[in-house]
Structure 1
Amino acid sequence: MSRRTLLRGLGGAAALTATAACGVPAAYVEPGRRSGRDLSARDRVLDFANWPLYIDTDDDTSKRPTLDAFAERTGISVRYTEEINDNDEFFGKVSPALMNHQETGRDLIVVSDWMAARFVRLGWVQEMDRSRQPNITRHLDPQLRGPAFDEGRLHSVPWQSGITGIAYNRRKLGREIRSTTDLWAGDLRGRVTLLSGLDESFALLMQGNGVDVTRWTGDDFHALCEQVEGLVRRRHIRRFTGNDYIKDLSTGDVLACQAYSGDVIQLQADNPDIEFVVPEEGAELWAESLMIPNLASHKANAEALVDYYYEPEVAAELAAWVNYVCPVPAARDVLADSGDEELAGLAEDPLIFPDDAMRRRLAIARDITSEERAEFARRWNSIVGL
């Protein structure tokens, strides 16, 4: 089971509900109030909250080799928890502490880029000290260095990256899919699914309409909604899914769908008829990023761990296990020169290390702003519920 088979939030509505339930509106924290007393030198430990199934494990899953190697090298033990199952749910869990200027009990977290944008806007995460992180400076994928929500990547560092594109069963469909517009062909009526989450779905669909998603507008969004609403009413779209599209695609109930690159790599191991496409018009490149919450007690230890995962050898070990787009391109050479046929094959997989031709079709979408989110989430969710 891949990490992304877990259910994800719809993006926005649940977070607003969770925040309102606390009785306190989301509150911006000024830069001077974000750091706390750093106990890293005294306490050789850090608390790291991540998603399930998102780190390398040994065969019986009782150990995590890269984390164990970090502890052995540095003397810093990592209290690792797999508590993040949904972006909005996690936001609701930590927001009371952050908005009230209290510790969260976590030194390092991983959230999707659209949620990372919210944390940055609210001032709920600290800048990292890049003088302590030479590997990030040297090895971070240039295409991931400057997201609009975090200029210069001062507050966030990609843990893993990925592509939202199209997956389809080539044998059962009997033809290739090359374009997002190919999803709307008559022979796919009732056999297509789209992702239900607003943040997960809109960019690819806009790219199919020729929109530059780095600078899309409200008019672009509403035009897309009109298009999708019409497809739903004509019963062309079978349904909207979370990560359960994997089952539909595997059984053949669906012939084509929006999909994540990492899921498809794992599906292909059991079904080589499954193809993943970066459409001609482009696809969305996204990341899930490491961040240090305000008042974290072990900031320097967290910064050391983040930099450790940007050593090409460590990044290669992690990439070989999770099968998402590796944010450390230099890890490709490590796998290619490993002497292991299977690992060398991963080095040639463009869904882990995109080639130049694929990269030219990838874009990081402009985030939905806080002013847009409530309106856009209502509009999208009304379509998903039709």
Structure 2
Amino acid sequence: MEQYEPERLSAVQVAAMRRSLRTGRASLTRRSLLRASAGGVLAAGGLGALSACGIPPAGRTQGGVAAEDHSAKEKEIAFSNWTEYMDVDDSGKRHPTLEAFTERTGIKVTYTEDINDNNEFFGKIKPQLAAGQETGRDLIVLTDWLAGRLIRLGWVQKLDPAHLPHAFANLSPQFRDPDWDPGRAYSYPWQGISAVIAYNKKALDGIEVTSVSDLLDNPRLKGRVGFLTEMRDTVGMTLLDMGKDPGKFTDDDYDAAIARLQRAVDKGQIRRFTGNDYTSDLSKGDFAACLAWAGDVVQLKADNPDIDFVIPDSGYITSSDNLLIPDKARHKTNAERLIDYYYEPQAAARLAAYINYVCPVDGVKEELAKIDRDAADNPLIIPDKAMQARSRSFRSLSSKEETAYETKFAKLTGA
């Protein structure tokens, strides 16, 4: 496969695309909808509403229902993904890694970027899944909380390890054992999403920021601090700063984190809670420092030398978007081959060079350096072992917890 130079977009262009393409709503972003959107459906009726539609409540874990696998006879895959989540060439029309996969295997990939919001997409596919019918898709990408829900409902097929040698060998340790899919029996990460602290050196004017405590407590930053509308990231980072494990916290721990954030709101320390529109505030200096997503920070740093980031000693929150094969998929083996393909270092490097999120594939750095040396050396894209060791995940929530926690967070943020 010949090498290509991924197109570089400014942070402003990236943010604009996410606002307009990933959500279709100017005031919301994919980052603000990813996992927090679970709270909306749960608060509005949640699992009770799902059960009323004939969907069993979450709580059981079993493999999905396999249709007859037509992979040998039908060399095709139907793949649904999020918008702007695949490498493209300079024309913006071709996907080099997908084309290389087809050239090698003869398997044609019908690739559709029709996922704009987790709950919206769940609404599209749940009637078929609940009825035991095929969705017309062989491979889908969902954020961790919804991936876990589909696995619990029994609507995702168990993967065959024999078809996933590269995925099994090359999956980064920090993604290997989520509590919603222990041992990755039903899913593999597409990309990781890390929450870090970003800052504008010019706006800080010599103030040191190394922790969430600095954001919440330093009076010199009053009114110039931003936190995220993503509950799991904002509360998770606050829990870590308080010495609590986001993977094991209690109701009391959660309430204490909310109370700490509320004090910062009440005294005017926090300017506002944002989706990824924080990129504009940070670049202009309206935010001196804020919680931010690694994929955005990569572009911000490229466009503005005053922007930088820090990983708190207490750790940082990492979530993931994940590849899954739904019930009754007609081409399961073909889909597994595509999952495995993206765990080969060369294909993973091409994807990482374009997307700039956390690559979940070990051993990719050398291949990425051939395309983009700066990306290969960027710990926000390829975390080193020390950074991986500080990665933490927000634990899975019961439906009762989801409703209660999102309600409290919405009150905090004024949503």
Task: Indicate whether the TM-score tops 0.5.
Answer: yes
Q: Residues 32 and 153 (structure 1 numbering): CA distance in 2 closer, same or farther, change over 3 Å?
A: closer
Q: Paired residue for 2:37?
A: 11
* Partner SS, residue 290 of structure 2: strand
1:73-95 CA-partner distances (Å, limit 9, x unpaired)? 11111111111111222222222
Matches within 5 A, 1:355-374: 355-374=384-403
The percentage of counterpart residues that share the same residue type is 44
CA distance in 2, matches of 1:370, 1:273: 42
Q: Paired residue for 2:112?
A: 81
Q: Residues 18 and 266 (structure 1 numbering): CA distance in 2 closer, same or farther, change over 3 Å?
A: farther
1:178-215 CA-partner distances (Å, limit 9, x unpaired)? 11101021122111121112234321121111111221
Q: Please report how far the alpha carbon of residue 344 of structure 1 lies from its aligned counterpart in structure 2 after TM superposition.
A: 2.1
Q: Please report how far the alpha carbon of residue 267 of structure 1 lies from its aligned counterpart in structure 2 after TM superposition.
A: 0.9
Q: Paired residue for 2:342?
A: 309
Q: Residues 154 and 238 (structure 1 numbering): CA distance in 2 closer, same or farther, change over 3 Å?
A: same
Matches within 5 A, 1:222-237: 222-237=255-270
* Partner SS, residue 12 of structure 1: helix
Q: Paired residue for 1:269?
A: 302
Q: Residues 213 and 98 (structure 1 numbering): CA distance in 2 closer, same or farther, change over 3 Å?
A: same
* Partner SS, residue 37 of structure 2: coil
CA distance in 1, matches of 2:61, 2:285: 52
For 1:150, which of 175, 181, 184 is the aligned residue?
181
Q: Please report how far the alpha carbon of residue 32 of structure 1 lies from its aligned counterpart in structure 2 after TM superposition.
A: 6.4
Q: Paired residue for 1:176?
A: 208
* Partner SS, residue 286 of structure 1: strand
Contact 1:166 / 1:276 at 8 angstroms: preserved in 2? yes
The count of corresponding residues between Structure 1 and Structure 2 is 382
1:245-299 CA-partner distances (Å, limit 9, x unpaired)? 1122122222211111111001111102111221111101221111111111111
Query: Is 1:101 equivalent to 2:132 in the alignment?
Result: yes
Q: Residues 358 and 23 (structure 1 numbering): CA distance in 2 closer, same or farther, change over 3 Å?
A: same
Query: Is 1:257 equivalent to 2:290 in the alignment?
Result: yes
Q: Paired residue for 1:110?
A: 141
For 1:64, which of 95, 119, 136 is the aligned residue?
95
Q: Please report how far the alpha carbon of residue 303 of structure 1 lies from its aligned counterpart in structure 2 after TM superposition.
A: 0.5
* Partner SS, residue 318 of structure 1: helix
Query: Is 1:45 equivalent to 2:71 in the alignment?
Result: no
* Partner SS, residue 111 of structure 1: strand
Structure 2: gaps (5+ residues): 1-12, 23-28
Q: Please report how far the alpha carbon of residue 13 of structure 1 lies from its aligned counterpart in structure 2 after TM superposition.
A: 2.8
Q: Paired residue for 2:166?
A: 135
CA distance in 2, matches of 1:94, 1:18: 19
Q: Residues 137 and 277 (structure 1 numbering): CA distance in 2 closer, same or farther, change over 3 Å?
A: same
Contact 2:50 / 2:56 at 8 angstroms: preserved in 1? no
Q: Paired residue for 2:323?
A: 290
CA distance in 2, matches of 1:24, 1:189: 48
CA distance in 2, matches of 1:26, 1:384: 31
Q: One-letter code of the match for 2:183?
A: G
What TM-score, normalized by structure 1, do the two folds share?
0.93
Q: Paired residue for 1:300?
A: 333
Q: Please report how far the alpha carbon of residue 40 of structure 1 lies from its aligned counterpart in structure 2 after TM superposition.
A: 1.5
Contact 1:319 / 1:326 at 8 angstroms: preserved in 2? yes
Q: Paired residue for 1:212?
A: 245
* Partner SS, residue 223 of structure 2: coil
1:335-386 CA-partner distances (Å, limit 9, x unpaired)? 33x2x6xx12222111111122222221122122223111111111121117
Q: Paired residue for 2:375?
A: 346
Q: One-letter code of the match for 2:404?
A: E
Greater mean alpha carbon deviation, residues 10-19 or residues 231-240: 10-19
CA distance in 1, matches of 2:178, 2:335: 22
Q: One-letter code of the match for 1:229?
A: Q
What TM-score, normalized by structure 2, do the two folds share?
0.87
| Runs of 4+ with deviation above 6 angstroms | none
CA distance in 1, matches of 2:290, 2:262: 17
Q: Please report how far the alpha carbon of residue 102 of structure 1 lies from its aligned counterpart in structure 2 after TM superposition.
A: 2.0
CA distance in 1, matches of 2:236, 2:64: 35
Q: Please report how far the alpha carbon of residue 221 of structure 1 lies from its aligned counterpart in structure 2 after TM superposition.
A: 0.7
Contact 2:102 / 2:109 at 8 angstroms: preserved in 1? yes
Contact 1:22 / 1:96 at 8 angstroms: preserved in 2? no
Q: Residues 50 and 241 (structure 1 numbering): CA distance in 2 closer, same or farther, change over 3 Å?
A: same
Q: Residues 103 and 22 (structure 1 numbering): CA distance in 2 closer, same or farther, change over 3 Å?
A: farther
Q: Please report how far the alpha carbon of residue 15 of structure 1 lies from its aligned counterpart in structure 2 after TM superposition.
A: 2.9
1:153-182 CA-partner distances (Å, limit 9, x unpaired)? 011101111311111101211233111101
CA distance in 2, matches of 1:309, 1:334: 13
CA RMSD of aligned residues (A): 2.0
Q: One-letter code of the match for 1:234?
A: K
CA distance in 2, matches of 1:122, 1:157: 18
CA distance in 2, matches of 1:287, 1:32: 21
Q: Paired residue for 2:410?
A: 381
Contact 2:232 / 2:394 at 8 angstroms: preserved in 1? no
